Amino acid sequence: MSGVAPDGRKMLRLEVRNSQTPIERKPEWIKTRAKMGPEYTKMQALVKGEGLHTVCQEAGCPNIYECWEDREATFLIGGDQCTRRCDFCQIDTGKPQALDRDEPRRVGESVVTMDLNYATITGVARDDLDDGGAWLYAETVRQIHAQTAGREGGATKVELLIPDFNAEPAQLAEVFSSRPQVLAHNVETVPRIFKRIRPGFRYERSLEVITRAREAGLVTKSNLILGMGETREEVSEALQDLHDAGCELITITQYLRPSARHHPVERWVKPHEFVELKDEADAIGYSGVMSGPLVRSSYRAGRLFQQAMERRGVTAAAAQAV
């Protein structure tokens, strides 16, 4: 395996070591079938015709048919270069371009054009910026809410999937002040292997972000990726840790290796184990759980939000107006 990455840079020692393990063959249950309903077909034509860009189609998400049928989509903000590197993530690490202050407005316009019921906004870590990118995340939420305020059926709901902003109080306060319907921060893995998988983050700091979001009155959400070397017992402990920290919604998924440079798949978690984990998370007290090999953190996000509202005692009609 060459020591040069596809983008021309020299591979990190970790990437060279990863690349010595061939890409794993996926089991038979890791597959999807295209289910193109009428709303999906309309959305597909609209996105193509208007030249819009979503994570859904650019990342080849296996759940695009279901999410677009529900008029839900995900957008990436902040550029395509992250200042941190996680061993499972396909986003490149490097020096980001200058902040595009017009991006929030354009994302809002895309949401309006697509007539979305629910938009998930995620992005790269921007440690190069004085505020870590807090304004960018917050302003994107504000733009979507403002531009869809007169929408029939109510303003588009926004889920904001954020980095940890180093748990800086001022940066988190800026983000929380935009009042997304859901504030998500993904822990992704268990404490024992966390530093190996996510060297730029800290497990306890991620839990702190979730706690602060819950204290701010926001619906909180996180994600766990399985198959990177964790044990079953450690998954149970992480589920309890997250709930104790104030996490209301959880998604649990199988790790799929983006390339040979990334962390090898240690184990293919069988479908029945995902069912067991859902039952366990329900028993712990989560308001909503999505657990499956092809679940992604924004999968059926609108439905999970509704479940959180119901657990909080908010009626479906009232939740629609939130």
Distances (CA, A) of 277 to 155, 168, 181, 205, 255: 34, 32, 26, 24, 15
CA angle (222 as vertex; 235, 179 as ends), nearest 5 = 165
**Residue 1: pLDDT band with limits 50, 70, 90:** very low
Residue 259 in marked binding region:
no
Residue 86 in marked binding region:
yes
pLDDT at site 120:
95
Residue 202 to residue 191: CA distance in whole angstroms: 9
Global pTM value: 0.90
pLDDT 10s digits, 10-42: 667 777 877 778 788 889 998 777 778 888 888
Query: Domains in the chain, please, with CATH?
Result: 53-321 (3.20.20.70)
Residue 89 in marked binding region:
yes
pLDDT 10s digits, 241-300: 999 999 999 999 999 888 888 888 999 999 999 999 999 999 999 999 999 999 999 999
Residue 247 in marked binding region:
no
Residue 82 in marked binding region:
yes
Q: Considering Cα of 129, then 173, then 123, then 221, what sign does the dihedral take?
A: positive
